[in-house]
Structure 1
Amino acid sequence: MLSLQMIHILPILQGYLWLEVLHIVDCPVTCGPAEYSIGTECCPRCSPGNRVNKHCTEFTSTSCAPCIDSTYLDEPNGLTACTPCTHCDPVFGLIVKHPCRPSSDTVCEPLEGFYCTDPTKDGCKAAQRHSSCEPGQYIRQKGSPSTDTVCVDCTGDTYSDGSFTSCQPHTQCDQLKLQQIKPGTHQSDSECGQETSSLIAVIVCVVVTLALIAAVGIGVYFKKKRRYCIVFLQMNT
């Protein structure tokens, strides 16, 4: 008789023991997408631009406070502190594209003459100055906020000082009836000048012309002086 009673009581005792175990061991709390877990509670998340000021309880909802002093939170959250806003540092080639707001972080972009080396969804984390083409190279593609300058070497009888958008042909001195003083390279143009024989001929012509002018001048002077002397003698006789 006693054994039958024990058989009936045993399942009840087992159930009671399981309930005690469940009270002792914390089971994970599964909350909805608009909630966060704190202890055994599922609390409503704070909206973007706000943080948790006080967690909810069994009887009260979550208390939220706005992000201030250059901080932000851009998603619904259960955080007690806001995230500091990003600083766009000119030292790293960055400038502010969109300022920080309580619900969104600062968006940075490259300074003029820089391009982004670490892009983000809407902006840039780091930038670098555009490369400068060397003498002997031309600029195939100018740098942009997202790409570096593309430089290409000059070939053949052409040159560039590094600032040209295409290599320029060397000056042909003979076509200008000049003598080549220095041949062109990929870094510089040809240097032209007067031929030595032509220069000497010009100098000789100038000297002869000046001598003729001087001789004519001297002849005119003495001719006038002689005429003056004859007139003077006639007046005295």
Structure 2
Amino acid sequence: MRQFEYFVWTTPVILVLESIGCCIACGRAEYRIGDECCPMCLKGYRVHSHCTKSKHTPSCVACIDSTFLDEPSGKTTCNNCTTCDPGLGLMVKQSCRPSSDTVCGTLEGFYCLDPTKDGCRAAQRHSSCKPGQYISHTGTTSTDSVCADCPGKTYSDGSLTSCQPHTECEFLEIEPGTPWSDSECGEASLPTGFIAGVLICFFLIGTIAGVCLFRMRKRGMVRREIVRNIKTLGSQIPTQASLDQEIPMLSGGTGNGKAHLQGFQNIRTIV
């Protein structure tokens, strides 16, 4: 009976002592394996074989093949490096190394939705402004773009950082400006028939003017020829000849000098 009581009392004590021994913490740079506290492998290395009672240090090997361990540990496998997915708006900011994971950054035109200590886990494209709006605040790697409507008499196609004033047409405004487009200036197009009619009129006027000029020049030439002939005749006729005096013919033959003189006077009168 006494032995039974002794067993009953000693068994819990043994269990408690064993549990206390099992729960004794290893040092900060150690890890527990069974009853042993083994030194941790440095970051960038994993445990190849644990320490034993006869071998107090584990065997450590470097992480390879896109794996890493960024802190000392007693792990036997390394962690897989993070992949920066362009479909999530990410790019590699810092490549993976045995002692550190990949650091992802945002692609151009994206901003981070899920930031980490040094990078980003997911990103989204900056918002696009609509025609009639301008970009009041340009998006960054951490913030989205902010759009605002264009005020009166200004416009933007949605890609501008400020609205532009409508063009003031000097002569004719074909299309008025809108919040998303500029004014269209120019001259109103004339009908094709009207243009053809104007060209024909100019052609006829030019033709008539040419004919008139030709006739005027021809008439002037005839008049100059008559004057030249008169001067020639005048040099051959005596200046003091009387009407009763007989004047010889210029080109031969006989005739009445009075008649020739009278004809000469008549021609001078006409000219």
TM-score band w.r.t. shorter chain: 0.7 to 0.9
Alpha carbons of 1:62 and 1:166: their partners in 2 closer, same or farther (altered >3 Å)? Answer: same
Superposition pairs for residues 128-143 of structure 1, below 5 Å?
A: 128-143=124-139
Give the Cα separation in 1 of the matches to 2:145 and 2:208: 68
Which residue of 49, 61, 74 maps to 2:70?
74
C-alpha change, 1:212 and 1:118, in structure 2 (3 Å) is same
Whose radius of gyration is greater, 1 or 2? 2
Deviations 1:18-77 (A, max 9, x none): 564357757423112111122222111111000111122222122211100010000111
Distance 1:211 1:143, change over 3 A: farther
Q: TM-score, with normalisation over the residues of structure 2?
A: 0.67
Residue matched to 1:85: 81
Partners of 1:13 and 1:118 in 2: CA distance: 60
CA contact (8 A) 1:136 1:186 kept: yes
C-alpha distance 216-116 of structure 1, shift in aligned 2 (>3 A): same
Between stretches 115-124 and 203-212, larger displacement belongs to 203-212
Q: What is residue 188 of structure 1 aligned with on the other side? A: 181
Matched residue count: 220
Q: Is the 8 A contact 2:33 2:50 kept in 1?
A: yes
Matched with 1:31 is 26
**CA offsets per residue over residues 208-236 of structure 1, 9 Å max, x none?**
766544432233345567789999xxxxx
- In structure 2, give the amino acid aligned to 1:98: Q
Q: Provide TM-score, normalisation by structure 1.
A: 0.75
Counterpart-to-counterpart distance in 1, 2:58 and 2:181: 74
Q: CA RMSD in A?
A: 3.8
In 2: Cα distance, 1:147 partner to 1:214 partner: 75
Alignment of structure 1 residues 109-128 onto 2, 5 Å: 109-128=105-124
The AA in structure 1 aligned to 2:177 is: G
**Alignment partners' CA distance in 1, 2:8 and 2:188:** 119
Q: What does residue 15 of structure 2 align with?
A: 21
The amino acid that maps onto 2:118 is: D
Q: Per chain length, whose mean CA-contact separation is higher, i.e. which structure has more relative contact order (CA < 8 Å, sep 6+)?
A: 1
How far 1:13 sits from its partner (Å)? 7.4
Q: Is this contact kept in 2: 1:143–1:150, CA < 8 A?
A: yes
What runs of 5+ residues in structure 1 fail to find an aligned partner?
Answer: 1-5, 232-237
Task: Indicate how the Cα distance of structure 1 residues 32 and 192 shifts in structure 2: closer, same or farther if over 3 A, else same.
Answer: same
What per-residue deviation string (whole Å, max 9, x for no partner) do you get for residues 180-237 of structure 1?
Answer: 332222111222333699xxxx999987766544432233345567789999xxxxxx
Among 142, 147, 150, the residue aligned to 1:146: 142
For 1:118, give the aligned amino acid. Answer: D
SS in 2 for 1:119: coil
Give the counterpart letter for 1:29 in structure 2. I
Q: Offset of 1:142 from its aligned partner?
A: 2.1
Q: d(CA) in 1 for partners of 2:112 and 2:183?
A: 39
1:86-119: CA deviations, max 9, x gaps?
1112222221111110000111111222222221
Other structure's SS at 1:215 match: helix
**Is contact 1:140-1:150 (8 Å) kept?**
yes
Question: Is the alpha carbon distance of 1:84 and 1:218 closer, same or farther for their aligned partners in structure 2, counting shifts above 3 Å?
Answer: farther
Confirm or deny: 8 A CA contact 2:174 2:188 kept in the other structure. Answer: no
Whether contact under 8 Å (1:180, 1:193) holds in the other structure is: yes
The separation in 2 between residues aligned to 1:94 and 1:87, in whole angstroms, is: 9
Which range moved further: 186-195 or 38-47?
A: 186-195
CA contact (8 A) 2:115 2:122 kept: yes
The answer to whether the aligner puts 1:100 opposite 2:96 as a matched pair is: yes
